[in-house]
């Protein structure tokens, strides 16, 4: 199922954060929301997952949505496998999935956590914590995966691994990820939407862009 966003407006008091944002994202596309801090990226994502309501406009999204927030809140005192089993019980159990043990083991292997599954989350590096967050977001096999700044704070090796994982995930579902780093868009996305001051300034397929830096500068200049 595609994602349809129509004329979304969002204000907090007198501050308008989103202005007439309109997008359609086909199934199976990885879309990067690129913009400076405060551009409205996280606000749009929270509207898509139903956490916040828009003041005006509408969204059409699949029923099954996975979400990785920017700060990736986790229960650090729990073991990796224990945490994912707990989240499974809240989100998947009773929906006809395979046995819990097999389901969690398959998911852990898929995101590269097999060697870490018996560790406390507090013992994990930032990169592995991101993998736990991705695993949680994938519970229930979402049709739409929303990732808010998924690579923030990762070292170069972790960046390569997480980028590869996200590219693979995008082969099977629609992915929307936010970032303010142009390299992330080039490495992971099929399409980029540049957002600034709550407005869409550019919307292009990556293959159509000769120079992303120039496009970004020209799109956000004097805004």
Q: What is the pLDDT of residues 114-144, one digit of tens each?
A: 999 999 999 999 889 999 999 999 998 899 9
DSSP 11-39: EETTEEEEEEEEEEE-TT-EEEEE--TTS
Q: What is the pLDDT of residues 12-68, one digit of tens each?
A: 999 999 999 999 999 989 999 999 888 999 999 999 999 999 999 999 999 999 999
What are φ and ψ of residue 31, in 5° steps?
Answer: -110, 130
Report the share of the chain in percent with pLDDT over 90: 67
Interacting residues of 131 by C-beta distance below 8 A, sequence separation 6+: 111, 112, 113, 116, 162, 165
128-139 burial code (b ≥16 CB/10 A, e <16): bbbbbbbbbbbb
- Give the model's pLDDT for residue 45: 96
Instruction: Determine the Cα–Cα distance for residues 53 and 119; give it in Å rounded to an integer.
Output: 38
Residue 164 has pLDDT above 80, yes or no: yes
pTM of the model: 0.91
- Give the model's pLDDT for residue 101: 85
Instruction: Determine the Cα–Cα distance for residues 44 and 10; give it in Å rounded to an integer.
Output: 9
């Amino acid at each position: 199922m595609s994602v349809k966003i129509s004329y979304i407006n969002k204000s907090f008091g007198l501050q308008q954060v989103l202005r007439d944002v309109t997008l359609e994202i086909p199934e199976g596309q990885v879309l990067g929301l690129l913009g400076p801090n405060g551009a409205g990226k996280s606000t749009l994502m929270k509207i898509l997952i139903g956490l916040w309501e828009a003041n005006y406009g509408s969204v059409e999204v699949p029923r099954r949505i996975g979400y990785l927030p920017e700060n990736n809140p986790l229960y650090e005192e729990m073991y990796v496998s224990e945490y994912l089993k707990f989240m499974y019980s809240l989100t998947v159990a009773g929906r006809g999935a395979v046995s819990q043990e097999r389901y969690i083991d398959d998911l852990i292997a898929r995101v590269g956590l097999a060697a870490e599954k018996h560790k406390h989350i507090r013992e994990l590096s930032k990169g592995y914590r991101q993998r736990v967050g991705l695993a949680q977001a994938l519970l229930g096999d979402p049709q739409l995966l929303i990732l808010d700044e998924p690579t923030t704070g990762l070292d170069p090796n972790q960046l390569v691994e997480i980028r590869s994982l996200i590219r693979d995930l995008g082969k099977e579902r629609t992915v929307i990820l936010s970032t303010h780093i142009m390299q992330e868009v080039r490495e992971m996305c099929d399409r980029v939407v540049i957002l600034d001051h709550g407005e869409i300034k550019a919307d292009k397929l990556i293959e159509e862009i000769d120079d992303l830096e120039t496009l970004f500068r020209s799109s956000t200049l004097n805004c």
